[in-house]
Structure 1
Amino acid sequence: MEVAKPWEGLEAVTGLSSLSSGAWLNQCKGPSAGQSTVILLLDALLAVPHAHAGAAFQEEMLLYMPAGHRQMVLDFRARWKGLATIPEIVSKVGEDAAGLQQAYNEAVTALGDLRRFHLATVRRYLVRTSKGTGATTWRKLLQAMLDTTAASLLR
């Protein structure tokens, strides 16, 4: 009979430390919108470049996604690597791309609206703490990610 070992391989995940009994003390981060596969895919598709802290947070959140979701994000990024981004394509097309630029900006604006809504929701629930569910200084991180999203609009 084969024994299921659902936690096998967790020693590679940061935030876990071994106890003398051989059990693992789990110091995982709590629920976070940063664990959303859709958000990471939208950032990749729209070429929203997050600064060091935002990018590092997203990379760490990949560890908390189901394996299939994580692989989808990694595969998507790998397939786009070295290819022109949507903003680069719009820039190359030039004046003939007014409709494409508008569509791109509407998508970025919608992502920004989602981030703004998320920030307002988090402010409501984490009002008394400086650390969020992902153990980050959430105010600065979320505002920076909102700012880089807004900065991605094409002019």
Structure 2
Amino acid sequence: MSVYVSLSVCLEIFFPTADLLGPLHVLVMSSLHSQLSEVLPRSLALPLVEVSRNLGLPPILVHADLVLTNWTKRDPAGPLEIRNLETIISFPGGESLRGFVLVTALVEKAAVPGIKALVQATHAILQPSQDALLQALQQLRLSIQAITGTLGQMHDYVDPDIFYAVIRIFLSGWKDNPAMPAGLTYEGVSQEPLQYSGGSAAQSTALHAFDEFLGVRHGSESADFLHSMRDYMPPSHKAFVEEIRSAPPLREHVLSSAHGHLRTAYNQCLQALADLRSYHLNMVTKYLITAAAKAKSGKLNALPGPPQALEDRGTGGTAVLRFLKSVRDKTLEAILHPRG
């Protein structure tokens, strides 16, 4: 059980120091964005791969680089609020990039009580204590709802045109990416091109842990993609998700319980998670689908559009709306209906 406690503290949240992947990757993506080459020079490839190996991460910009380790307080004694935060590493995108990184960091902060609730709930199932489990599920629901509320700050800080035409290009990887079908050659590392997915919210630990804890089972295509994203997490985060997966199953406990309030609390967590995913769908429609339509019509505020092949894809390489609808619908399917 010590694993649960130590990793929940680790997720509280963000790592204390920024790693070296961010600045190295900015240089990589800048050269690719300029379409200079699909070969990463040895002088960048070797240190990038070495640092990545030491961190247990793939040699590409990931969620942990861009978000978890990429913030600092302006006033060290001040609050963890966006007005008191600044990014450490930046690339084109200006204030919209800052807003995207920092709002996403605050989303992770909002998930911390939910991560703690998973640990508390697991202890409650083992004790067993229905009251403690109910309390933990209520805390999980509130945390998921707080994530949704925090995510809404994107509308205040991130311009859809800039996200679509500028920021998203720097987050796109070279796996399942029609704009770079062969991948990227890391000179001095491999003679063949390597393929890695771009930075994505699917690399965030919290939703993986929530799904495992609540017993949400995704369709095969979505599940395969989500499972692959765990290789883009810091090793301790991936281990935490696997520990939650191997913990006593909450869903079976709820199904076997005669405690009606427990079933209600469980369903409320699932509904909150589905609502979060519906909200994310609406946001992606604004920041991707609507922006893509503006780009095609030439109304993207004089900004160049991304490669046509990327228009309907998420930064991780997914056909994003189909994927998000699938994970939302499978979350709703997990809701337990009344007996009889």
Q: Quote the offset at 1:90 in angstroms.
A: 2.0
Normalized against structure 2, the TM-score is what?
A: 0.39
For residues 89-137 of structure 1, the C-alpha deviation after alignment (integer angstroms, 9 at most, x for no partner) is 22222xx321001000010011111111111111111112221111111
Q: What is the one-letter code of the residue matched to 1:154?
A: L
Higher-RCO chain (CA-CA 8 Å, sequence separation at least 6): 1
Distance in 1 of aligned mates of 2:52 and 2:328: 35
What's the counterpart of residue 52 of structure 2? 7
Tell me the percent identity.
32
Q: What is the one-letter code of the residue matched to 1:6?
A: V
What's the counterpart of residue 254 of structure 2? 90
What's the counterpart of residue 105 of structure 1? 267
Paired residue for 2:325, among 143, 147, 153? 143
What's the counterpart of residue 132 of structure 1? 314
| Matching of residue 30 in structure 1 with residue 30 in structure 2 | no
| Matching of residue 119 in structure 1 with residue 164 in structure 2 | no
Unaligned runs of 5+ in 1: none
**Structure number with bigger Rg:** 2
Q: What is the one-letter code of the residue matched to 1:36?
A: S
Alignment of structure 1 residues 67-86 onto 2, 5 Å: 67-77=235-245, 79-80=246-247, 83=248, 85-86=249-250
Normalized against structure 1, the TM-score is what?
A: 0.80
Unaligned runs of 5+ in 2: 1-46, 60-173, 176-182, 293-310
Q: 1:91 to 1:7 in 2, by over 3 A?
A: closer
Paired residue for 1:40, among 188, 205, 208? 208
Q: Is the 8 A contact 1:87 1:154 kept in 2?
A: no
Distance in 1 of aligned mates of 2:220 and 2:263: 27
For residues 37-62 of structure 1, the C-alpha deviation after alignment (integer angstroms, 9 at most, x for no partner) is 00000000000000101111111111
Q: What is the one-letter code of the residue matched to 1:87?
A: R
Distance in 2 of aligned mates of 1:42 and 1:146: 13
Equivalenced residues, count:
143
